Amino acid sequence: MLYSEKVMDHFRHPRNIGEMENPDAIGEVGNAKCGDIMRMYLKIDGDTITDVKFMTFGCGSAIATSSIATEMIKGKKIKDALQLTNQAVVEALDGLPAHKLHCSVLAEEAVKAAIKDYYDRNGIDYDKSLYAPGTCVCCHTADKKDD
């Protein structure tokens, strides 16, 4: 099968989906080529992410990766959530087809963007190198969205 059971499960039953009222931070990232957009909302208490929600307008893999990413950072310290990589997201989903790997980059970037928003809102200094121009290759080779 092209997609793992976990990918299909998170695609069909996304966790933590929806908007959040009064979030402490919002991260929105997108890819101009495929048009997929991911928005992540965080509630933060002290240095802990107490709640996460997401909205993804995009392909099935983007939905599955956002869904599992919310589970992976909920309840975590901010500094631990910042360590989330797209590779970890893909592993947690038991893999993605090679041509969909780029979709997982959006999840990592959305988490980082939301935490940056939290830092910016609260005037907290942070490591700017975390937000260097990304290595996202989303859709550079994909010419159609078939899933």
Binding site for ligand FES (CB under 6 A): 31, 34, 36, 58-59, 61-62, 103, 106, 138-139, 142, 145
Handedness of CA 131, 80, 67, 117 (dihedral sign): negative
Which is closer to ligand FES, CB of 49 or CB of 59?
Answer: 59
Query: Residue 123 burial by CB count (10 A; 0-12/13-18/19+): exposed, middle or buried?
Result: exposed
Smallest distance, ligand FES to C-beta of residue 41, A: 19
The question of whether 103 is a catalytic residue gets the answer: yes
The question of whether 34 is a catalytic residue gets the answer: yes
Smallest distance, ligand FES to C-beta of residue 104, A: 8
Which is closer to ligand FES, CB of 25 or CB of 138?
Answer: 138
What whole-number distance in Å separates Cα of residue 85 and Cα of residue 76? 14
Q: How many CB atoms lie within 10 A of CB 127?
A: 9
